[in-house]
Amino acid sequence: MFGKITKKGFQVLTLHHAEAILNYDMSEAVDELEAVLDAIVIPVEELVRGGGGEGQLTQRIRKALSETYGWKKHNFEIKKIVDGEEKESISHEIDHVKFFPKGTFALEIEWNNKDPFYDRDLENFKRLHADGVISVGAIITRGQSLQDSMREIIENFAVRQNIDSIDKLSKFYLPTPRQQKLYGAEAKSRGSFQKGWAHAFVADKFGEATTHWRKLEDRVKRGVGNPCPLLLIGLPKGIVSE
């Protein structure tokens, strides 16, 4: 299962019988996910450029899943009715859902968010599975190899682009006064602007408190989301085009 992308360094972890469900009841879901993930590339410049909102990589994955394979956003509404009277109504919005003949697959993409979003996703999956609504919940996130290599990737980019001062960052984004002060201090501490900027930039934008593999793995090891069958996929450093 997922042999093509695991050979390319993607991390794949299945929990609570998810592998059996996917292999025997939802193999089409595996094929579709692998086709989308096998094709993704992120130019290193996208990691650097500023701008709020959803990252371009996430947008490309969403578009491929939604437009090519029909994994659409869906809002599950669960109502508790006692003697014909509604007592409680809870809704769970999932970004990508597909209904297969033998089960329902729910998927979230956490490329670069605050790590508590994992708790939200996993708890939603747990509730939806307990109510018999979904068969498998999945999360796609930054893999460990990508997270661990981020400073090296950004520093190499700075060297190739000859970024040796704050002024030269304006081509890609405009640092705030706080960031400028931070970059200057790190450059002085590390002996070069490229090293200092890469260290500070990654800590600021892709730091330990954001969504990446170790944070997700830690949660599922503690039982968050249990017993929902889970599929976790980590994006590797190999998807970055330098």
pTM of the predicted structure, to 2 decimals: 0.93
What mean pLDDT comes out for the span 181-197? 93
| CATH 3.30.565.10 for domain 3-146+205-241 | no
Each residue's pLDDT tens digit, 30-76:
999 999 999 999 999 999 986 545 678 899 999 999 999 999 999 99
Strand 103-110 relative to strand 72-82: parallel, antiparallel, unpaired? unpaired
- The full set of domain ranges for the chain reads 3-146+205-241
| Percentage of the chain exceeding pLDDT 90 | 86
116 — pLDDT class (breaks 50, 70, 90)? very high
3-state secondary structure the chain: CCHHHHCCCCEEEEECCHHHHHHHCCHHHHHHHHHHHHCCCEEHHHHHCCCCCCCHHHHHHHHHHHHHHCCEEEEEEEEEEECCEEEEEEEEEEEEEEEECCEEEEEEEECCCECHHHHHHHHHHHHHHHCCCCCEEEEEEECHHHHHHHHHHHHHHHHHCCCCCHHHHHHCCCCCHHHHHHHHHHHHHHCCHHHHHHHHHHHHHCCCCECEHHHHHHHHHCCCCCCCCEEEEEECHHHEEC
For 129-164, write each residue's pLDDT tens digit. Answer: 999 999 999 999 999 999 999 999 999 999 999 999
Asked if residue 49 lies in contact with residue 173, where contact means CB atoms within 8 angstroms, the answer is yes
Q: Strand pairing partners for 130?
A: none
pLDDT of residue 224: 96
Average pLDDT over residues 89-112: 92
**Does residue 203 register a pLDDT over 70?**
yes
Rounded percentage of the chain residues whose pLDDT exceeds 70: 96
CB of 234 within 8 A of CB of 213? yes
Per-residue pLDDT at 206 exceeds 70 = yes
Structure tokens at 95: 């970004």
Q: How far is CA 208 from CA 51, 144, 147, in A?
A: 20, 11, 9
- Looking at residue 132, its pLDDT comes to 92
- Kindly report the average pLDDT of the chain as a whole number: 92
Tokens 């085009």 label which residue? 241
pLDDT for the residue numbered 85: 74
Cβ(238)–Cβ(9) under 8 Å?
yes
Q: Give the pLDDT of residue 51.
A: 54
pLDDT digits (tens, 9 = 90+) for 73-100: 999 988 777 877 776 767 789 999 999 9
pLDDT value of residue 230: 98
